Amino acid sequence: MRLRVFGALTLSIAVAGTIAPLTSAQATTATAHDGSTVGTAATEFYFASGAGDYIGAGATVDYTNPTVSVSADLSTVTVSAGGAGAWTLTLAAPTGQALTAGTTYTGALRFASASAPGISVYGDGRGCNNDYGSFTVTEISATSVNATFSQTCESTTAAPLVGFIRYNATLPTTVPTLASTAQPITDPANSGSTAASAGNEFSFLSASGDYIGGGSPADYTGSSVTATGDLGKVTVSAGPWTLNLAAPSAEQLVPGTYVGATRYPFNTGSAPGITVSGNSRGCNNDYGTFTIYQIASDSTGALTQLNATFSQTCESTTAPALVGFIRYNATTATPIPTLPPTATPTPTPTPTPTPTATATPPAPLNAVLTVSTGVSESNGETVVALNASGSTGTDSLATYSFSFDDGTAATLSQNPVASVLKYEGTYEVTVTITDGGRTSISSPLWLTVGDGYHAVTPQRLLDTRNGTGGTKGPVAKNGKATITLPTSITNSGHGSLSAVVINLTVTSPTAVGLVTAYSTGLSQNPTTSNLNYSKGETIANLVTVPVLPGGKVVLSVSSGGTEQLIADLEGYYTAGNDPTNAGYGSVTPTRILDTRHDTGGAGGRVAGGKTIKLKLPSSVPTGTTAIAINVTAVAPSSSGFVSVFPDGTTPNTSNLNFPPNANVPNLVIVSVPADRTIDFKNGGSGAVDILADFDGYFSPSATSKFVPSFPVRMFDTRKEGGALPAYNYEVFPMSYALQVPTSALTAALYNVTVTAPTASGYVSVVPDPINAVPSVSNLNFSKGETIANAVLAPISNGDQDFFNGSPSGSIQLISDFFGYFAKPQTTMAPPSSPSAVSAKGNAVQEPAASLSSARVFALR
């Protein structure tokens, strides 16, 4: 699997009633680096990304305020620019060596070794499993760096990303540039006056006999002209007309003249691409030339400016021409191309007409696309099957192009069926069919490639108290414990392992601290937390850990003391479409067990050492293999623990631990046996009430699958926004932030932490809008307590609400994001702007307080 980083989930908080638009991390204005030397900015981070490069997505970025660190032994340089979730560069000497000035390091790989240096550029939610590249160090010291670099992703022949880092540099830097086949600018033959008017304009002249223009001119201005794409390819739309211009493979478009262009997107190698089509007319073969006078993009790589002229012939280089120009936010003049003069034809005898049969016009061309997922590969990728055989109006010469919105190349052939490999995520996929010069583009689908769940009988993987799992004794100050996963899940036969679900417990800590769980093999460790604890406390939390192929689970402790760690395996996720891979069914949370009120048939407090049985209600669908429940121990008379397990089993594990007189929750995912009975055991000596809220279910018939994420902190009210008042809630536009269609997104997985509460209460994480105070809870807290709990929360309209259920106190609230669940496909596009654009108002009156106006999270 490839762990995605959803950088858009890093938030700031806006005052109720306003919300800022989503923008990517904004770079400073890019310098027109063209291979010359620079030396004016002592500190600068710059790169240019070639068309098709996965990391930079064809963008050019430039920062003059990066954060740079050099290791004490001068072996590694780490650069961060653009804030959280933006860009990171790592350059490393071969293991055991120091970086030296005046040295070029070749054969660099993602991870340095004794025989190879290391290089890695990643950010904006994208990273490579394999990096290849080289770099040259001009200056290096503990406080200065001057280096250039080049990287390709997954293959040495992939499109490159090139750049430089200057940190307190004193010597000039020769700026690397991307290769380009553009020739010096040559104005169009017979060009007339220049166009220099403000605004947008698309215009062409069509010679008599030209199939596309039909010998008629066209001219569009203003808002009727749009231009999209990036520096690798651009698409212009004006009325019924479309113009496509593309750089040769792995290049960017730059000012210059491109000759020998062939039909886009079928141009290959060093040939640029061109296509002018419209009015139901297109060519099987296009030939042409175009000149770029101006072109620019923003920091996300999206096209912002284009000034170009073009000339195209259809089916033959000697066919009548179509010539024109496009001005999109252009600021310099454009030479207007004119048609070449035509010779006066020599009269020829008029032939005697021969009667011909009237041809039947071809049937309308209609593209139909279906998509499905298949088995998973060992590296975590899943086979995606693409099928356009249901399309109509096609013939044996039809070609099919399947494209994805992640920048991967379109799949082109005369076969209407194709397959590709994709990691977990949500993709826009489109089929384009070309038949007899006619082009048809299907309505795009948004496909989610996700993972299925497998419940297990709880199994203890680690217990440092007795050495289970290979680590014996307390974990040292700021130490780590590593869990080797059993072969029963790493080689389950159900698909490649993508994530594990573990109940993590801390006991006997000698100081306050926190634990973060993550996979080995990551290029950076997360800055999130999974479990917070106080001195002397025993506390548990459910943890979902995305795991890289062959990876182990690391439990990293941040504490000034020591602690014992316990980890119980509850289940795991695998990629692919194995029939046992269970999807998730999201429900409106309901209370199915409450011993205080005889809900669930188990009335009265549970005595020490006793087990109660819960027969699952009909709201849990037939065929369910596991359920997600939020379990709370209420008012225990002594310390102890609760174990939740399928009836008929007796695992030596626990799910939540509690001290006397405290209300302690934990999320539990428990396997459902054939008799649909779940057992709850009070492992303490005193009595306790037990509550269980039904949050969702796993079943092979449920369609939503899990997309794991690199852990990212969504928000922290201590840093932005301030404490959340009593009976207030926060609104988070999840669908917009993830760019997952609202109709597909069904749930999300968080770790929610409350700290510094001024009174006791609870937190509920529920779908937006809140029209009544929620009747269920995800996290209970006491005054002054810091406590975390895993939350698997339903989402119904794309937005998530975080409600402070304390009637009299405020809280500081922190949420970390670990992944989402989504249906496999939809034709609805993701939202283009946040739907939660205003506060929700005073919806409900409570005896102690009103349900106050919501605060809305605004994306950076």
Query: Which of 264, 272, 254 is closest to 308 using CA atoms?
Result: 254
Q: Say if residue 100 is exposed, middle or buried (CB neighbours under 10 Å; 0-12, 13-18, 19+).
A: exposed
How far from the centroid of its chain's Cα atoms is residue 61's Cα?
Answer: 20
Is residue 51 within 8 A of residue 250, CB to CB? The reply is yes
Q: Name the phi and psi angles at 473, rounded to 5.
A: 100, 160
Q: Compute the distance between CA of residue 569 and CA of residue 457 in angstroms, rounded to an integer.
A: 8
Tokens 């003391």 belong to which residue? 561
What secondary structure letter does DSSP report for 29?
P
In Å, how far are 51, 53, 273 from 407, measured between CA atoms? 9, 8, 17
| Token representation of residue 579 | 């029939």
Residue 679 DSSP SS3: strand
Q: 571-598 burial by CB neighbour count: b if 16+ within 10 A, else e?
A: bbbbbbbbeebbbbbbbebebbbbbeee
Predicted local distance difference test score (pLDDT) of residue 850: 30
C-alpha–C-alpha distance, residues 338 and 204, integer Å: 9
Residue 746: burial class (beta carbons within 10 Å; 0-12, 13-18, 19+): buried
How is residue 121 written in tokens? 């550029």
Instruction: Give the three-state DSSP class for 671.
Output: strand
Phi, psi of 333 (to 5 degrees): -70, 155
Separation CA 30–CA 175 (nearest Å): 13
Decide: residue 764, CB within 10 A, 0-12 exposed, 13-18 middle, 19+ buried. Answer: buried
**Neighbouring-strand partners of residue 402:** 411, 431
* pLDDT one-digit tens code per residue, 31-62: 345 455 665 568 999 998 887 788 888 788 88
Owner of token pair 């414990």 = 481
Q: Could you check whether the bond before residue 340 is cis, i.e. omega within 30 degrees of 0?
A: no
Which residue, 748, 761, 828, is CA-closest to 790?
Answer: 748
Residue 352: per-residue pLDDT: 58
Domains with residue ranges and CATH for the chain = 31-174 (no CATH), 194-335 (no CATH), 370-449 (2.60.40), 470-576 (2.60.120), 583-699 (2.60.120), 717-860 (no CATH)
Beta-bridged to residue 161, according to DSSP, are 49, 151
The first and second tokens of residue 393, run together, are: 């109006």
- The tokens for 839 are 């506060």
Please work out, in degrees rounded to the nearest 5, the angle formed at the alpha carbon of residue 555 by the alpha carbons of 554 and 558. Answer: 130
Query: How deeply is 479 buried, as exposed, middle or buried, from its count of CB atoms within 10 A (0-12, 13-18, 19+)?
Result: middle
Positive or negative, the CA dihedral 390, 391, 394, 400 is: negative
CA 79 centroid distance within chain? 22
Q: What is the pLDDT of residue 362?
A: 61
Q: Can you tell me the distance from the alpha carbon of 140 to that of 101, in angstroms, rounded to the nearest whole number?
A: 6
* Continuous segment of H or E residues that includes residue 738: helix 734-738
Please tell me the predicted confidence (pLDDT) of residue 138.
94
Residue 154, φ and ψ in degrees, nearest 5: 75, -20
> Which pLDDT does position 10 carry in this prediction?
42
What would the two tokens of residue 469 be? 């799992």
pLDDT, averaged per 10 consecutive residues of the chain (860 residues), comes to 44 24 25 52 86 82 88 92 79 94 93 91 84 95 94 88 93 84 70 67 92 91 89 91 89 88 85 91 91 85 90 92 93 86 58 55 79 82 88 81 78 82 90 81 87 93 95 95 95 92 96 94 83 93 91 94 96 92 92 92 89 94 95 94 92 90 92 95 95 94 92 88 90 91 95 95 91 85 92 92 92 94 91 54 30 37
Instruction: Report pTM.
Output: 0.61
Distance from the Cα of residue 281 to its chain's centroid:
37
**Residue written as tokens 């240019």?**
48
Both tokens of residue 553?
A: 């689970």
The amino acid occupying position 629 is I
CA atoms within 13 A on the CB side of 306: 31
Task: Calculate the CA 209 to chain-centre distance.
Answer: 49
Amino acid at 298: D
d(CA 50, CA 36): 19
Burial profile 406-421: b = 16 or more Cβ within 10 angstroms, e = fewer: ebeeebbeeebebebe
φ, ψ (nearest 5 deg) of residue 737: -65, -40
428, 427, 485, 411: which is closest to 454 by C-alpha? Answer: 485
pLDDT of residue 266: 85
DSSP structure class, residue 487? H
Sign of CA dihedral 732, 738, 744, 746: negative
